[in-house]
């Protein structure tokens, strides 16, 4: 009996996929792949996108290895079945009188609105109610509305700051946070067990289980967002703002107006939502060059500060004047400044601040200085908000990660680039009224907590052997850790995958150095190893400029050394 090859199995999957695909563009793509009869069919149909703790994310296109309507329908169906089989967050089951409720929203990327519409129809067909927000809207509005409505789950159709060719599917649970294990694996198993969905598996658009919300939920978010600033704090600030062709503009302007700030000046070339992101190569405000138009406008108009969101407005980037030029602050700089600002403006020993293990250790020092609690977590906001959820006595007031994600309070149990922008504007206005600058304040923190410089180095591993190469290098680092990296002595090594770790097991290694730290981990979404480096000058002295130059030189050396370690050149 002849064995069916992997290519033949993939072709069979492609033909079955073609039968149920409602999209003419991806149908044509499948037909072309089948006609070509090459390796591309197996690459697209041999496996599927991994459904993990960030949901789904990938390039648009046909097949289970891409984001498309069939893949979205399969995922929505799996989420509905999870909610209905006794595994839901509120214990719902098929025999329960309680109907699960899911809030759904979408950004302005290609196909986002179609994916959201398919989602609510699939949910309704299985007996799950939904509220479809009047997108395109920022991700924080979805996370806020989920909690305000007491919903069982939330779904945001977005690829955040990914390349323009991508889209994604971000899933939240009833606690308002992104899903974690085992929910992700349980939903993933349900995706595998389900037959391919057809149009008959969708409810009608006018199903009573589908509520199509108006602007009232947006207004509720805007009203609530102003709570992150004090009523009587300074408001005198000139702001230039860019949403980077994303969906943040209208909500951001509404929040600033509600809080009493002058309307930010929006970069005109980047103000309207545009899924092609025509003025930037990569729609990520952290990428060099992404803020060039905003900084140029701020320079021309004499603005005090530049604020930027990524396309779904859950991240924040900041640029400020520094002498005669402009300085784009790192995520760790913004995190330290916001943390100190939030803690200075509040009180209570049960206040909790949290950050990830790959972010700067300055937050721990700031927390100790203010006499509040500090938690270090795994990477991602699904973990950063977790200490506050697990301890009812804690008052979660601030969390951040180095990748420009910030949560001011627990209004939104995820990163929120809009409330973070408002809080930073309050910080800058307060400094301005006192005759000082944001950089002055950063220097004050350096004098108290030491000068911290952080950076990231990534090494890509493309091709079919990429995953095994990365795994081999991680195994080698565990078995034979280096005694020094770029001349910095390794004081201790912490393997976060080892039993007994204080954090949930994860594939990451922490090298504690004499004067810094290096954390190495594989990316969760791309074929790359990441090295997060930090150098610390505990006594920078009066010449802060000279100390920063020296620390930056040490950081560059450490990143270069990390690159050699990650490629196996140095052991």
What is this structure's pTM? 0.95
CA 58 from centre of chain: 15
Q: What is the mean pLDDT of the chain?
A: 93
Whole-number Å distance between alpha carbons of 273 and 200: 33
2 falls in which pLDDT band (50, 70, 90)? Answer: low
Does the pLDDT at position 487 exceed 50? yes
538 contacts: CB under 8 Å, gap ≥ 6: 450
- What percent of the chain lies above the pLDDT cut of 70? 96
- For residue range 17-45, list pLDDT tens digits in order: 999 999 999 999 999 999 987 788 999 99
Whole-number Å distance between alpha carbons of 530 and 379: 12
Q: Across the beta sheet with 316-322, what order do the strands follow?
A: 265-266, 239-242, 305-309, 316-322, 325-328
Domains of the chain from N-terminus onward: 51-214 (3.40.120.10), 233-449 (3.40.120.10), 451-566 (3.30.310.50)
β pairing state of 528-537 and 516-522:
antiparallel
Q: Return the pLDDT at 548.
A: 96
Q: Return the pLDDT at 40.
A: 86
How distant, in Å, are the alpha carbons of 353, 364, 490 from that of 535?
22, 15, 13
Q: Return the pLDDT at 91.
A: 45
User: CA angle, corner 224, sides to 221 and 227, nearest 5?
Assistant: 145
Q: Would you name the residues annotated as active-site residues? A: 160
- For residue range 252-268, list pLDDT tens digits in order: 999 999 999 999 999 99
Per-residue pLDDT, averaged over 84-110, amounts to 76
- For residue range 293-322, list pLDDT tens digits in order: 999 999 999 999 999 999 999 999 999 999
Nearest to 100 by CA among 201, 174, 185: 174
Phi, psi of 443 (to 5 degrees): -65, -35
- For residue range 70-92, list pLDDT tens digits in order: 999 999 999 999 999 865 454 44
461 falls in which pLDDT band (50, 70, 90)? Answer: confident
- For residue range 504-528, list pLDDT tens digits in order: 899 999 999 999 999 999 987 678 8
Residue 535: in which H helix or E strand, if any?
Answer: strand 528-537
Per-residue pLDDT, averaged over 112-123, amounts to 98
């Amino acid at each position: 009996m002849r064995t069916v090859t992997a290519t033949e199995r993939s072709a069979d999957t492609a033909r079955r996929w073609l039968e149920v695909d409602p999209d003419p563009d991806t149908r044509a793509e499948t037909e072309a792949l089948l006609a070509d009869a090459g390796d591309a069919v197996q690459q697209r149909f041999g496996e599927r996108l991994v459904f993990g703790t960030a949901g789904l994310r990938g390039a648009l296109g046909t097949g289970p290895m891409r984001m498309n309507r069939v893949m979205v329908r399969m995922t929505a169906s799996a989420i509905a079945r999870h909610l209905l089989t006794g595994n839901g967050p509120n214990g719902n089951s098929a025999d329960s009188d309680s109907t699960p409720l899911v809030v759904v929203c979408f950004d302005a990327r290609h196909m986002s609105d179609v994916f959201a519409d398919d989602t609510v129809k699939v949910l309704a067909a299985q007996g799950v109610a939904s509220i479809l927000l009047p997108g395109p809207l920022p991700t924080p509005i979805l996370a806020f509305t989920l909690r305000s409505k007491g919903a069982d789950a939330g779904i945001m159709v977005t690829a955040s700051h990914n390349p323009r060719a991508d889209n994604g599917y971000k899933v939240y649970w009833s606690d308002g946070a992104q899903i974690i294990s085992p929910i992700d694996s349980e939903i993933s198993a349900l995706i595998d067990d389900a037959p391919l969905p057809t149009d008959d598996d969708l409810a009608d658009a006018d199903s009573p289980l589908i509520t199509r919300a108006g602007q009232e939920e947006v207004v509720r978010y805007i009203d609530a967002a102003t709570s992150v600033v004090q009523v009587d704090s300074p408001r005198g600030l000139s702001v230039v703002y860019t949403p980077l062709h994303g969906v943040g503009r209208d909500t951001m302007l509404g929040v600033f107006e509600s809080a009493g700030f002058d309307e930010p000046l929006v970069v005109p070339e980047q103000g309207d939502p545009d899924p092609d992101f025509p003025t930037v190569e990569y729609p990520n405000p952290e990428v060099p060059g992404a803020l060039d138009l905003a900084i140029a406008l701020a320079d021309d108009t004499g603005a005090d500060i530049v604020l930027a969101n990524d396309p779904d407005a859950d991240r924040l980037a900041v640029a400020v004047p520094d002498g005669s030029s402009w300085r784009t602050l790192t995520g760790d700089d913004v995190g330290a400044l916001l943390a100190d600002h939030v803690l200075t403006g509040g009180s209570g020993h049960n206040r909790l601040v949290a950050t990830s293990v790959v972010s700067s250790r300055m937050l721990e020092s700031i927390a100790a200085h203010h006499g509040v609690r500090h938690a270090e977590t795994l990477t991602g906001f699904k973990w950063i908000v977790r200490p506050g959820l697990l301890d009812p006595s804690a008052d979660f007031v601030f969390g951040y990660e180095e990748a420009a994600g910030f949560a001011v309070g627990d209004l939104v149990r995820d990163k929120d680039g809009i409330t973070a922008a408002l809080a930073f504007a309050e910080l800058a206005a307060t400094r301005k009224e006192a005759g000082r600058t944001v950089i002055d304040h950063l220097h004050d923190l350096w004098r108290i907590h030491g000068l911290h410089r952080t950076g990231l180095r990534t090494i890509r591993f493309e091709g079919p052997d990429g995953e095994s190469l990365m795994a081999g290098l991680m195994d080698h680092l565990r078995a034979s850790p280096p005694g020094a990296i770029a001349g910095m002595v390794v004081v201790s090594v912490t393997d976060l995958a080892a039993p007994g770790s204080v954090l949930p097991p994860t594939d990451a290694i922490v090298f504690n150095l004499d004067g810094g730290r290096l954390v190495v981990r594989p990316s969760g979404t791309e074929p790359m190893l990441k090295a997060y480096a930090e150098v610390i000058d505990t006594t920078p002295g009066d010449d802060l400029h000279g100390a920063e130059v020296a620390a930056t030189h040490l950081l560059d050396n450490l990143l270069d050394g990390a690159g050699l370690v990650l490629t196996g050149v140095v052991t």
